[in-house]
Amino acid sequence: MMIRTLAAVLLAFSFVSAAEEAPPPTVRLFDTGTISPAPLAPEALAKREGWTQVAEGKTDRAFKGDAVAMNNCLALVVRRNGQETEMYSLAADGARPLATVGVLTDASRGPELRVKTLKNAYGVVALEAVHLLQLELGMGQPFVKTTAIAATHALRIKAPCRFAVMPDFFADDIVVDATSIAADRAELPFENFLLHFLGSGDAILAAISPDRDDDSRIELAGQGSERRIIASTIPYGKSKTLWLAAIADKAVWHTRDVAKEDADKVLKLDWTAPFQAQWRVDWRLDDGLNDSWEMLIQLPDGKFDKPDWFGQSDRVGTPDWMQANRKRWTTVLGSFQYPCWLDKEGQGFLQPLKAKLRFVGPALVYPINRVQATPLDRFTLVDAVRECLGVGPCEYVLDVEGQKKVARGAATCATRSKLTGIYQAKQQKEKRPEVEKALADVLAFVQLVRGRIEAYAKFGREQVVWLEEQKKSKPELAECLTQLQSVCRRIDAAVENRKKAIRPQEDALALVSEFRKDLVGSDAPDALDRCKKITGAIVGIGGAQDELVGECRVAVKVLRQRAGLAMAADPRMDDIARELRRRTQAILRAPAGYEAPRH
């Protein structure tokens, strides 16, 4: 993943601040002079009538009114007659409310909140809502660091939204749609991040933590299409820190409802990407699950590119899939037209698949990572994680090493083409070392994929046994646990279905040994025919394996998502769901390229 250094961010914001009417990136501290009985109106942040700026370095201010910390991106208002802090995003066209933040604490509270200044420097302001919470805002930073004090154990965020997302960097996001949840409360597995999709597309508020020890909770209210998540509660873990990051920009997220009748239709979105980035699309499937894809980016020559997590072009699969027709091939899905993309002008398009996957319901679009062309003054989710947690902890939390695809040897189809070309040209003697290497490479490839299949099969069987044990200790959850077992059994069912085609692993070794013994260096009249026959058999094994390993991965991804949703539906599934998600991440690490880990 590309590193967006703090220096680059500050430089970008310094350019922004040079624009007319743009606020400076430095952090300023104000005393409003009067105590507001309600959250400040956005225009009050621009006018600042009656406000006094607290001199830099002064930390002993006895605030007469409310305390306001402000840079060019955010404003924090700590109101003295309330127990909460308001957070606003700042832009050239004015301020927008993002959230109201409070705490859950065991400490006693007085009727009035006392504010203490911890830092008041050119580059940072830190305030303490005494006995409750510390808030820190840095220069040019679109995020706030919160630190729990003493008995404070959770942050309560009032940020009304229809969608909340738990982003998943190994599989598919969990998208919580308030309109589809009848309960007034739901527990969610908090795994470092929770995204609140605010307004009509102009802001995403990301709660980010280095910890994932406990569960988050959401509260819901309203009816029908107006039903909303009105608040989320996120626990403080061992680090006692949580960041709130604002990904704010015009049209920074978008949603479009997709109907069954839209399958294979090109849908021009009423949305253009506000900047170049790796944009994720979370599709709703007809079974209620979610399927996450990254949008293609059209290049000036009409072809398409698909950046991977590390800022490079993802060219796994058939080498011509990035042509203007968006043809793509993966295991499981086969050949299809890639279903989401940006054209040369950044206009967004969807084309729901017509087979295998049925997209029905809202499709949600948001910027998950940078690409080389992303402007320095724009922010994505991965940027937020990197800057809040720091590069090292971010790499750990995102498990960057685990996401890297493993490549070993050469694919069976490529090996067949190579060897057939050599034998057709009757060059097998002079290119003997090349032939030997091709055989070693194809065997390594087959063994790599077979190893992944065997690991998946073992994983599935182990989870069936483990879930059966959970039934004994928690019989009241038997129905849900049985459903999860059925997902695990899909792996063995897929293996059994392709058992004949993939053949025992010894068969691949025998085919390579036969080729080495009879054909390496041979100029017999039937050498080409025998080459084609043996390599064809190897391709049959390899192709079946490629399909199977993809099917295994899909089953584990479904299990991972089902576990998270099971917990949202029934808090009693907490420990089991959390452990299943930990186990699924472990098996999904270091995939072979033909598993199509990112479609």
Q: What is the dihedral of CA 481, 575, 368, 282, to 10 degrees?
A: 20
Residue 539 has a pLDDT of 96
Residue 470 has a pLDDT of 97
Percentage of the chain with pLDDT > 70? 92
Residue 110 has a pLDDT of 59
The dihedrals phi and psi of 343, each to the nearest 5 degrees, come to -85, -175
Instruction: Express each pLDDT in 11-47 by its tens digit.
Output: 333 333 333 355 678 999 999 999 998 999 999 999 9
Q: In the structure, what pLDDT confidence band is assigned to residue 109 with cuts at 50, 70 and 90?
A: low
Residue 476 has a pLDDT of 97
Residue 17 has a pLDDT of 34
C-alpha 586/C-alpha 556 separation (Å) is 11
Residue 226 has a pLDDT of 96
Residue 339 has a pLDDT of 96
Per-residue DSSP letters for 464-491? Answer: HHHHHHHHHH-GGGHHHHHHHHHHHHHH
Reduced to 3 states (helix: H, G, I; strand: E, B; else coil), residue 143 is: strand
Residue 4 has a pLDDT of 40
Residue 12 has a pLDDT of 38
Neighbours of 34 (CB within 10 A): 12
Q: 6-248 is classed in which CATH architecture?
A: Distorted Sandwich (2.70)
Reported in sequence order, the residue ranges of 32-181 that DSSP labels E, i.e. its strands, are 52-53, 67-70, 74-78, 85-91, 94-105, 115-120, 124-129, 133-138, 143-148, 152-158, 161-166, 174-177
Q: What is the mean pLDDT of the segment spanning 580-597?
A: 90
- Residue 290, Cα to own-chain centre: how many angstroms? 12
Q: What is the mean pLDDT of the segment spanning 315-344?
A: 79
C-alpha 341/C-alpha 354 separation (Å) is 17
Residue 405 has a pLDDT of 81
Residue 1 has a pLDDT of 40
Residue 331 has a pLDDT of 85
Per-residue DSSP letters for 338-386? Answer: -SEEE-TT-EEEE---SSS--B-EEEEEEEEE--TTS-TT---HHHHHH
Q: What is the mean pLDDT of the segment spanning 212-233?
A: 93
CA atoms within 13 A on the CB side of 34: 9
Q: In the structure, what pLDDT confidence band is assigned to residue 316 with cuts at 50, 70 and 90?
A: very low
Instruction: Express each pLDDT in 353-409 by its tens digit.
Output: 999 999 999 999 999 999 989 999 899 999 999 999 998 888 888 887 788 888 899
Instruction: Express each pLDDT in 453-504 by its tens digit.
Output: 999 999 999 999 999 999 999 999 999 999 999 999 999 999 999 999 999 9
Residue 114 has a pLDDT of 81
Can you give the pTM of this predicted structure? 0.91
Instruction: Express each pLDDT in 420-442 by its tens digit.
Output: 999 999 999 999 999 999 999 99
Q: What is the mean pLDDT of the segment spanning 334-348?
A: 95
Instruction: Express each pLDDT in 498-520 by its tens digit.
Output: 999 999 989 999 999 999 999 99
Instruction: Break the chain into its structural domains and give their ranges.
Output: 6-248, 254-378, 412-595
Instruction: Express each pLDDT in 196-214 by its tens digit.
Output: 999 999 999 999 999 986 8
Q: What is the mean pLDDT of the segment spanning 237-248?
A: 96
Residue 13 has a pLDDT of 37
- Dihedral sign for Cα 339, 341, 343, 346, please: positive
Q: Which two tokens stand for residue 213?
A: 């020890």
Query: Closest Cα to residue 555, out of 475, 472, 486, 464?
Result: 486
